[in-house]
Structure 1
């Protein structure tokens, strides 16, 4: 378990993280989300004791990580897959980590096999692709068989097969009762993998809840309506405050997407004005839509519709 309590980090006049509190529980995959510059990497580094907090505290299974002399037995972390000596072979790199943490040498071969790098064990890392470096970094996190695992953008450079493999790996690790904390900007992958979310913006907590609850907070749910009274229904829903957008219809009548009104209210208005509806369905906000909406005020660097800075 990771427990973050009122964590603050300042660099001069800049506050990167402010009074941040959340808990990452075992047995779940927890996604760590936020816009660029939100403070995610700084928070991960403070969890690992690489950056000293200005205020607050963070513990891993009840103790600061710095208090654990054989760190890889307690926490496996991948912060930057490219931050590795390119002149070493994959096997030598992992063997050095194993020696420093009193992990049996046989474990090196086991994790290389698990991440699919057995054939590349004697190759120098400098010749690896980014995807291979990601796999090597993941091997390093697994080396000490730790109960807590942290990953910062672990899917960068992976091909579709690799993404699918990592998704299954995270779920398996969580099913084994481990704490799995994953920072990523890939919303579709988080939607497929995460059970819980911690979302921050400008260094402050926006949400710490289940993925389903966070997605449900988005207000961009839309109602799809099919009717043969398109003009009348459009005028009625627009007057009620709804936004009505025509869709390509592949059947009888006209098809519209309606936002700003619930499906119940659309049905009530159609009934009251005796307008026949052939179809009425509701689609909830996706994780990406909810994220964009709920972090809109926390985006540090954005662009206008035409790509100019704003």
Structure 2
């Protein structure tokens, strides 16, 4: 389990992480989500003891990472796929790490096979594509067969087959009861991979909940209604506590189910041409809830 309590990191006058508190529990894939510059990578580096927090704490199974002996046996991480000596082969890179952590040599062959790199084990990493480097980084995280795993933007550079493989890998690791934290800014990946989300913006916590709970926080979820009597229906639904917004020729209704809207319209003999519930969108909720918390905004091209 990963526990982050009041974690803060300042660089001079700039605050990268601001009083962040959340828990990552075993048995789930937890997505760590936020716009670029939100503080995700800084937070993960503090969890791993690579950056010292200004205040607060981050522990893994109750202790700071630095107090765990033979670190790779307890925590595996992929933070930067390019952080490998380009002159080493994939096998040599992994063997150096295995030897330093008291791991048997057979683990090198096992993880290379698991990530699909056994055929290039003796090739120098400098000649690897980004996708191959990502696979090597994942192999490094798996080397010690650890119960806790952290991955920062793990699908960058992977082809569609690789993306599908890594989704299955993460879900399988969680099913085995491991703690899995996956950082990304891609909504589609979180929808297809994660069970829970920790969402931050400008270093502050926005949400710590399931995907469905987070998506439901967006106001774009609701029911689309078309009727020849929009004013009359709006009055009826508003009295029932709904929020009604005109959108073009239709109404978007939140606060009442489609079934209840249909019942009220039938009781008042109001004709409906369309009654369609809109499923809450994770991407819509993310864009809405992180608005104003994005570090860099591009202007419209005119």
TM over 0.5: yes
**Equivalent position of 2:192 in the other structure:** 192
CA displacement 1:109-152 (0-9 Å, x = unmatched): 00000000010101111111111111010000000000000000
1:258 aligns with 2:252: yes
Instruction: Report the Cα distance in structure 2 between the residues aligned to 1:162 and 1:38, rounded to whole angstroms.
Output: 26
Secondary structure of residue in 1 paired with 2:287:
helix
Alignment partners' CA distance in 2, 1:262 and 1:243: 16
- Structure 2 match to 1:250: none
Corresponding residue of 1:174: 174
Q: 1:302 aligns with which of 284, 297, 302?
A: 297
Alignment of 1:204-215 (within 5 A): 204-215=204-215
Structure 2 gap ranges (5+): 239-243
TM-score by length of 2: 0.91
Q: CA RMSD in A?
A: 2.0
- 1:10 is paired with a residue whose SS is strand
Q: How does 1:236-255 map to 2 (within 5 A)?
A: 236=232, 241-245=244-248
Aligned equivalent of 1:284:
279
Whether 1:97 aligns to 2:91 is no
Q: Give the Å deviation of 1:260.
A: 5.3
Name the structure 2 match of 1:111.
111
Query: Could you tell me whether the CA contact under 8 Å between 1:263 and 1:280 is conserved in 2?
Result: no
In the alignment, the residues of structure 2 paired with residue 95 and residue 24 of structure 1 have an alpha-carbon distance, to the nearest angstrom, of: 30
Aligned partners of 2:224 and 2:253 also within 8 Å: no
| CA deviations over 1:185-236 (Å, ceiling 9, x no partner) | 111110111111111111111111111111111110142346xxx5x24455
SS in 2 for 1:277: coil
Contact 1:242–1:261 at 8 Å: present in 2 too? no
Q: Which runs of 5+ in 1 are unaligned?
A: 247-255
Counterpart secondary structure, 1:242: strand
Q: Which runs of 4+ in 1 moved over 3 A?
A: 233-241, 259-273
What residue number does 2:241 align with? none
1:228-251 CA distances to partner (integer Å, 9 max, x unpaired)?
A: xx5x244556786422335xxxxx
What is residue 158 of structure 1 aligned with on the other side?
158
CA displacement at 1:286 relative to structure 2: 1.1
Question: Which deviates more from structure 2 when the two are superposed, residues 46-55 or residues 64-73?
Answer: 64-73
Deviates more, 1:273-282 or 1:66-75: 273-282
1: distance between equivalents of 2:57 and 2:298? 35
User: Do the aligned partners of 2:233 and 2:270 also contact (CA within 8 Å) in 1?
Assistant: no
Q: Which residue of 2 aligns with 1:252?
A: none
Aligned partners of 2:230 and 2:251 also within 8 Å: no
